Structure 1
């Protein structure tokens, strides 16, 4: 077994002694599991080399039923195509684990990116919602301001009407002078207002009162 390992390019005394200590012979190579190989050969490089050569032995044995592993395995040759195929199939478990770890990290990174994208979408929706709410608040405030202005405008318009109406002007002057209205002043004021409304709605005045 020592000669075979050296033929395969594995000359580390520690590895050779490990095979000897566990009584590993050529016939045992086909029965070694991944855990067995990891225990015998801790280093990844030499372990991969041994795994490739074991696979070559098994492949050659299957292709040639008359030739067994015990019949001088150091002289078994494989075609370059078979060697390349086996090299692609055989992957060390640690390398596979690293690759899976990278894929997992990429998946997590993609998940984080999706989460950030969703958070950005929710933030955009929140901003749009806030903008809509602000717009509605501004509209409400504007409507209230306009509603407040209307009575003031109407009051100013009514006061202007009284000042330019004979009976209304007389009532205003009496109120400014006495801070109150007499019955006569009230009649004048009511006549002025009623006539104004009749004129606005029907285009004429119907009240004719001698005061």
Structure 2
């Protein structure tokens, strides 16, 4: 796995490069990933609007920034993502703002479908759920932990809906987006902070 991480990391890009690449694909009527469809095109367009809004409105609490800056080591957050993913659209702007708030974390992004071998090491219930954050020690790319694809509250919402209705349909997706809207990124920030602090608790 370490070799796969190192080989994949070479192709990782910054948040701004990721945004630009997805936007350019959209301008030519395409989406990121192996599959092209009208639905994925529609979702990607929605996500562009969401991410533009979140880039302007997401705020990292000063206390969280302070704790991130107190980390003893430097890390990469290597995130597997795709432009059409609704969860990724909600979460990547948060990851980016958290990384900007400290010199201890650098955000790097990989497209899931271009890195299938790496993705297969980090399945969720057997599926290639994204976004998936790989926490890597910066000096040697050693894997220290993972997070994702959703904060706990969002995961519970989808699990409960699926148990009740048997599918994750458009109504479920709308409920999920409302959850993210009301949460304002706080659950994600706190969960990731806890994950980072845990690295230094033993």
Shared fold per TM-score greater than 0.5:
no
The higher relative CO (CA closer than 8 Å, separation ≥ 6) is in 2
TM category, shorter:
under 0.3
| TM-score between both structures, scaled by the size of structure 1 | 0.25
Higher gyration radius (CA): 1
Higher strand content, 1 or 2 = 2
Higher helix content, 1 or 2 = 1
